Structure 1
């Protein structure tokens, strides 16, 4: 089977995994004898592959967080992009690392066992009320991804990103929105 040249495939609405815009595109490629389609984003011009309902690259979960230190922002983006690339175990591992980096950035000592960083964030008030269980959940999922054979799922990665987004908004974004 070969890919046929650019043609009108009929309009398809999707969120582009490259630029994040909701677009409707009809231009793209089809593979003869299959349900596979590659649509060209009408905003950024990048290709998005569809095989039935599967999209690649997928949409990165979560939202941008304002006022993040550069290293924290880079890890957060990497964790989100891993999900878009269907690298769920990688996203969970980066989420664990991100939690450790947040703790160190906020004054925790480097080179300690991971539980130290979880405790540090909770004891210093960086974790919202009833949030300690979530921080511990990231620790457990990260340990599972590191030390066990089983791979992580998309929902595992998405739930950790959702919590980390909230945590980083609590630590970095919201305090910077209040005028001094």
Structure 2
């Protein structure tokens, strides 16, 4: 069975070998290419892969090699993988330092480095809540700042309640012997993203929509 080395979009492993099967060629807008089913040797899950030949090999040559037990990495190029590899999902209108921290956390989570992800999601939350609570009574603990922001209607009560149910808001990533699970980090990622949306993206979108509405009213 032919193989190829790729970055698996299912489990996130890099330079992973996948076994290829179920070949058929397609003539489409991109020209002729090959669709194959790939089975990641890391997670054992199936991937949909579209291949073309590289600058030295044609699609037909790649198709011929698929029937042979051989590594095709050096004779073809992957033009698409399904499901696609995850990409960072960054809220709009963040301050630069908070955006950098959240982007670093997203990249760590996607690559499977959950310890780093936990600490950097927490750092993004720390910076954002301190920034937005500057005019409120000082709160040293992150969870308290989130609760205070909810009481001031800058966050929803549901977000504050959600924060209380997430394992110490990523603190165990730095201080506990047991690593957080991928599910823990995914929950922390979702909470952090929604918090940033409420604190920065939504107010800025409302401000811009209001300004646009006022400008249209003035022109009428």
* Shorter-normalised TM range: 0.5 to 0.7
1:104 equivalenced with 2:130 (yes/no)? yes
User: Which residue in the other structure is 1:155 paired with?
Assistant: 183
Q: Retained in 2: the 8 A contact 1:88–1:156?
A: no
Query: Using CA pairs below 8 Å that are at least 6 residues apart, which structure has the higher relative contact order?
Result: 1
User: Which residue in the other structure is 1:136 paired with?
Assistant: 164
RMSD between aligned residues: 4.1
**Which deviations, in whole Å up to 9, do the C-alpha atoms of 1:27-65 show, x marking residues without a partner?**
68xxxx89997985548xxxx9xxxxxx9xx6246x231
1:127 equivalenced with 2:155 (yes/no)? yes
Local SS of the residue matching 1:130? helix
| Number of aligned residues | 153
Q: Retained in 2: the 8 A contact 1:68–1:173?
A: yes
Q: Which runs of 5+ in 2 are unaligned?
A: 6-19, 21-33, 39-48, 55-68, 212-220
1:171 equivalenced with 2:199 (yes/no)? yes
CA gap of 1:175–1:27, structure 2 versus 1, over 3 A, is farther
**Which deviations, in whole Å up to 9, do the C-alpha atoms of 1:114-158 show, x marking residues without a partner?**
344333333332221322122224461423222211112222111
User: Which residue in the other structure is 1:18 paired with?
Assistant: none
In the superposition, the TM-score normalised over structure 1's length comes to 0.64
* Greater gyration radius: 2
**Which deviations, in whole Å up to 9, do the C-alpha atoms of 1:46-103 show, x marking residues without a partner?**
xx9xxxxxx9xx6246x23111111111111111100121111211121111111111
In the superposition, the TM-score normalised over structure 2's length comes to 0.54
CA gap of 1:129–1:122, structure 2 versus 1, over 3 A, is closer
CA gap of 1:153–1:139, structure 2 versus 1, over 3 A, is closer
